[in-house]
Amino acid sequence: MRRRLWGFVLMWVASTVTPVQAQLRLPTLPVPGLPLQAVPGALNPLDARSVDRLSDLRHLEIGRLIRTNRRLVEADPRGEPIVRNEILALSLIETAALRARSAGFSVDREQTMAGTDIRLTVLKAPSGMSTKKALSELRSLDPTGTYDFNHIYTGGGALLSDVPAVSPTPPAATRGQTAPRVGLLDTGIDTTHPAFRNSIIHSWGCGNTPVPSAHGTAVASLLIAHADADIYAADVYCGLPTGGAVDAIVGALGWMMQEQVAVINVSLVGPKNILLERIVGALAARGYIVVAAVGNDGPASPPLYPSAYANVVGVTAVDSHRRVLIEAVRGPQVMFAASGADMTAASIDHAAAKVRGTSFAAPIVAALLANGLSTPDRAAAAAAIDALAKQAIDLGPPGRDLTYGFGLVGAAPAQ
């Protein structure tokens, strides 16, 4: 029933839709004994300038973010955005906290992940001290501690135009308690869109004040199109310049752990961050599956995160001809491929958009995994991933490769 309704929604938006481009990145779960191969000539037949334009989108957005929010945001030594004057500490011990206070640092806020001993502390640097110097100072004061910048992760995207608005949707249908749960860590969702007519969406973030966004709405619509599941949607942006920071991501992941959401789609990309890596690892150890897009920084890009962390299901995107997108990141973090272009998704104000990017392939994989996993469980998670790998359509050389991973899942008919 849900897929028939979704098909109806797509029919009325198919004629005048808008391109959205997005990127994500996260790590893959290792599967022993499966060799990885590069796929020669896997690029779509577009010129080098087209590749450059697509792969530069995230970097251009980062530059704009820093230029327009210099009081709040700056670049780390690698050019990645961070929250100015903030340093994160993982499970800060009392003696280290006393040393930090003596050096002029102050504790701004703290959070503990439910059911764990994981505690995240946000420290403010002393007045006049650079954020880079602050990180170095804390690591020197506490060499055995875990500290890093409060990195800001992006979802990258551009919405050019919407189709006309339609009438409001009826209330969502109520389902039983056995429906699968899928987590969505992204921007806000326009829950009044007809695509969510029969969906149950639980929201977190922004002080319970919805901040709908095109990217989160599109990703959520693709998720429910492939899974009859309850969505646990965390908005980690809330329209703020510092939206997508690590401490917000950790808060969202903690909420999903508390709600026992077994499969979590993370529609964000950014640099490696020690604290986020530890927390993603803790989730995997407890039987959660984190699914993330590998990103759109181009085939020669270094790996993006969180998709490149161990035990994350990394997803690339293909077009309607089952060719990898030219801007998709390659590497051993790629586990599955799914449709990420030449398709339509919901957008804000009851509109729709054409979408392109690995961000839009990841929710398809998350949905397929969630259909067979009701609660977090390590053995069940491994079995679900293995079963999906066996169903995948091998698109590259025989076996797993660096471009398509195990192959295409949730496939539309080849064209």
User: Distance between terminal CA atoms of the chain?
Assistant: 26
Q: Of the residues 151, 171, 205, which one is the last residue of a structural domain?
A: 151
Asked if residue 231 is part of any domain, the answer here is: yes
The two three-digit tokens of residue 12, written as one number: 């009325």
Whether the CA torsion 39, 311, 111, 256 is positive or negative: it is positive
Asked if residue 413 is part of any domain, the answer here is: no
Asked if residue 68 is part of any domain, the answer here is: no
Instruction: Decide which of 408 and 228 is more confident.
Output: 408
Helix (H) or strand (E) holding 359: none
Whether residue 118 is found in the same domain as residue 161: no
Q: Rounded distance, CA 393 to CA 407, Å?
A: 5
pLDDT tier at 145 (50, 70, 90 boundaries)?
Answer: very high
Whether 138 shows a pLDDT value over 80: the answer reads yes
Whether residue 288 is found in the same domain as residue 383: yes
Asked if residue 217 is part of any domain, the answer here is: yes
Q: Which of 12, 380, 346 is nearest to 199 (CA)?
A: 346
Whether 22 shows a pLDDT value over 50: the answer reads no
> What digits encode the pLDDT tens for the residues 6-21?
443 333 333 334 444 4
> What digits encode the pLDDT tens for the residues 120-132?
999 999 999 999 9
Whether residue 165 is found in the same domain as residue 291: yes
Asked if residue 177 is part of any domain, the answer here is: yes
Q: Is 299 helix (H, G, I), strand (E, B) or coil?
A: coil
Whether residue 216 is found in the same domain as residue 350: yes
Whether residue 108 is found in the same domain as residue 207: no
pLDDT tier at 48 (50, 70, 90 boundaries)?
Answer: low
Go through the chain and tell me how many residues it has: 415
Q: Rounded distance, CA 288 to CA 330, Å?
A: 24
> What digits encode the pLDDT tens for the residues 310-369?
999 999 999 999 999 999 999 999 999 999 998 899 999 999 999 999 999 999 999 999
Helices (H) and strands (E) in the chain, counts: 10, 15
> What digits encode the pLDDT tens for the residues 354-401?
999 999 999 999 999 998 788 999 999 999 999 999 999 999 889 999
Whether residue 188 is found in the same domain as residue 246: yes
Q: Which of 355, 320, 319, 360 is nearest to 13 (CA)?
A: 355
Asked if residue 69 is part of any domain, the answer here is: no
Please compute, for residue 187, the number of CA atoms within 13 A of its CA located in the half-sphere on the CB side.
26
Asked if residue 317 is part of any domain, the answer here is: yes
**Structural domain boundaries enclosing 86:** 81-151
CATH number at residue 131: 3.30.70
Contact 23/293 with Cβ under 8 angstroms? yes
Whether residue 126 is found in the same domain as residue 226: no
Whether residue 164 is found in the same domain as residue 308: yes
Q: Of the residues 119, 151, 183, which one is the last residue of a structural domain?
A: 151
Whether residue 209 is found in the same domain as residue 248: yes
Rg (CA), the chain: 21
Burial of residue 285, with CB atoms counted within 10 A of its CB: 0-12 exposed, 13-18 middle, 19 or more buried? exposed
DSSP-derived letter for residue 195 is: G
Partners of 44 in beta bridges: none
Q: Rounded distance, CA 340 to CA 325, Å?
A: 8
CATH number at residue 360: 3.40.50.200
Whether residue 171 is found in the same domain as residue 263: yes
What is the pLDDT of the chain when averaged over all its residues? 85
Whether residue 288 is found in the same domain as residue 215: yes
Name the packing angle between helices 57-68 and 48-55 (round to 10°). 40
Whether residue 257 is found in the same domain as residue 314: yes
Q: Of the residues 104, 136, 151, which one is the last residue of a structural domain?
A: 151
C-alpha separations of 386 from 15, 335, 336, 406 in Å: 39, 11, 11, 10
Contact 234/205 with Cβ under 8 angstroms? yes
The residue-averaged pLDDT of 160-175 equals 43
Asked if residue 295 is part of any domain, the answer here is: yes
Q: Rounded distance, CA 317 to CA 345, Å?
A: 15
Q: Rounded distance, CA 234 to CA 383, Å?
A: 27
The residue-averaged pLDDT of 134-162 equals 83
Domain count within the chain:
2
